[in-house]
Every structure is written in C-alpha cells, then in structure tokens.
Structure 1
Amino acid sequence: MHIIKRYGNRKLYDTEKSRYVALADVAALVREGHQVQVLDAQNVDITAQILAQIIVEEQKGEGRGLSVDLLHDLVRAGGEAVTQKVRHVQAGVEHWINKSLERINPVREAKREMAHLKERLEQLEASIEELEQQESPRQSPK
C-alpha cells in the first residue's frame, strides 16, 4: 500500500517513492491496481476525500461531469450511496445479460434446426433428381 502524506501546504508526498506527487500520479497508482492511503499532517485518513477530488478533477478535464441526478443522490444518501448505486447498476446489468441470453438461446436453437432442415432438403432434392434421371431413360418418345 502506498502511503501518501498531504502536508499543510496541500502538497502530496509519496512515502514509498520519497517524492512529491500530483493528483494525477495518485490516480495512476490506483489505475495500476495499487492501494493508496492518504494521511493529512495529523495522520487523519483523508483517502476518500482525495479519491473524490481525483474524480471531480478528471470530470472537469473531460468537459463532462457526473449526472446531476447522481450528484443529488450522493448528497442525499451520503457515503453509502456510491456502493448502493454500483450494486444497483451491477444487478441491472446482470438482469439485462440474463434476459438477452434468454432471447438469444431460442434463436440459436432455431438456427441449428434451420441448418438441419436445409441439409434434409438438399438430400431430398438430390433423391428427387436421381429418381427423375432414372425415369427419363424408361420413357421413350412415341
């Protein structure tokens, strides 16, 4: 775990790398899969505030922000809101995937059946053609 200290001058210091870092550096560490803990000058854990600040700064830079509805929900519900929203979205995605699979499976089965029927039709056509060829020599012109 990377311990990041935030000093009174608001500078961030990575204790593992022994150097000052920017918010973008902390974001990069998180994206790389590292856990970070940010402590202020009094050793109070301010990780959540720094991560939230990273999200806000990145949203500003992209020219688009979080939806107003989501921000309202976050303010109303507090810290647990994000976890609940993620669970809700995850459940919705899983439900959508399951429903899609339910719709796709009959189509797959129908496609297999169509391929089988096509094969049978080709066999029947070949049999009919063979019978027609056998009948042709028997019929003589009168």
Structure 2
Amino acid sequence: MQSKKASGTQPTQRVIKKYPNRRLYDTDTSTYITLAEVKQLVMDSESFVVRDAKTNEDLTRSILLQVILEEEAGGEPMFSEAALANIIRFYGHAAQGFMGSYIEKNIQAFTDIQAKLAEQSKQLTPEMWAQFMNMQNPMMQGMMGNYVEQSRAVFDKMQEQMQKQAEQMFGAFGMKR
C-alpha cells in the first residue's frame, strides 16, 4: 500500500471511509481494507484519517481502539485487567485530562529509548553483542532510570498543574488554602 504524494515531498493524509456496512474503503488505493491493514498503516507510520462515509465524522480514534481490542483479544495482551480498570477509573476524574498526556509522554519516552537501543545494536558485531548481553543489566538499569526520571518529572508537572487548578477553583469560591 503506497501513499500518493502531493506536489512536494510531504505525503498527503490518507483518507479511509467507513461505510454503514462496517467496511473500510481506502480512497488512496481504491480498495476495501481490513483492520489488519489499518494496523499495518499504523506500523508503517502512514498518516491517515478514518471518516464516516455519510457524515464525514472523524472515526479515527474509534477504529484505532478497535485495532487495540483485536490485538488484546489475540495473543499476549498488553494491558492487565487491573491496568484497564485503573484507566476506566480516570474517566470523569479531575485528572482525566492529564492522564492522557501522561500516558502519551511515557509511551513516547519508552519508544525513544527503544529506538536508541535498536540504532546502537545495528553497529554490534557478534563479539560486541555477547559483551553487551553481559553488561545488559547495568545498562538497562541506566536506561530505565532515565525513563523513570522522565516519567517522574511528567508526573510532578501533572501534580503541579492539578494543584494550581484546584487553587484557582477554590479561589473562585472565595476559599484560600
């Protein structure tokens, strides 16, 4: 599935139409596609949007959630029941707005670490790889330490923002800390 290019180097955003019969139509390739093919677009970092064929409503998030649901149902799930329950508990909670960006930033930090590790591992010979595996524990601890530190910083910022909002809200009611 190759994306058409606009007049330049930027690819155009691929449009996928969702019809009432639940079928997905890729306007770029003029073919119907499956959720597995939508997953492949994500894996290939293709820019796309899913729109309702009648209303033109953006359904991208809904389709991505369906892809996640299929992935969770087959094979080894990524989210435990406890993790899913905790995510659900944040809906309607004061921290709901912060939680999405917190999760997003943590996933991005983890992805960045993974990409750096993959890039560094390309230069390893079999001998260097053996040495790397022997050193893995301290190195992983260092990388995970950086990840944990980034995560803590994001969490601290989130708490700070929540505290400011609470103070503003109480201040609006004439209550001070």
Matches of 1:95 and 1:68, distance apart in 2: 24
Listed as ranges, the matches of 1:6-85 within 5 Å are 6-40=18-52, 41-78=54-91, 80=97, 81-85=99-103
- The aligned runs of 1:94-109 (5 Å cut-off) are 96-97=145-146
Q: CA deviation at 1:52?
A: 0.8
Query: 1: CA distance between counterparts of 2:87 and 2:60?
Result: 18
**Contiguous gaps of at least 5 residues in structure 2:** 1-12, 114-142, 149-177
Q: Distance in 2 between matches of 1:29 and 1:19?
A: 14
| Number of equivalenced pairs | 98
Give the Cα–Cα distance (whole angstroms) in 2 for the partners of residues 36 and 48 of structure 1: 11
Which protein is richer in helix relative to its size? 1
Q: Give me the whole-angstrom Cα distance separating, in 2, the residues matched to 1:71 and 1:98.
A: 22
Gaps of 5+ in 1: 100-142
Letter in 1 for 2:80: S
Counterparts of 1:43 and 1:98, CA distance in 2: 40
> Alignment identity in percent?
32
1:83 positional shift: 2.9
Query: Which SS does the other structure have where 1:5 is aligned?
Result: strand
What is the distance in 2 between the residues matched to 1:8 and 1:35? Answer: 23
Q: Give the equivalent residue in structure 2 for 1:116.
A: none
Partner secondary structure for residue 13 of structure 1: strand
Counterpart residue type for residue 101 of structure 2: T
Q: Contact (CA 8 Å) 1:74, 1:82: kept in 2 or not?
A: no
Larger radius of gyration: 1
TM-score w.r.t. structure 1 length? 0.58
Give me the whole-angstrom Cα distance separating, in 1, the residues matched to 2:145 and 2:31: 46
CA distance in 2, matches of 1:58, 1:95: 26
The Cα of 1:65 is off from its aligned counterpart by 4.8
Deviation at 1:9, TM superposition (A): 0.3
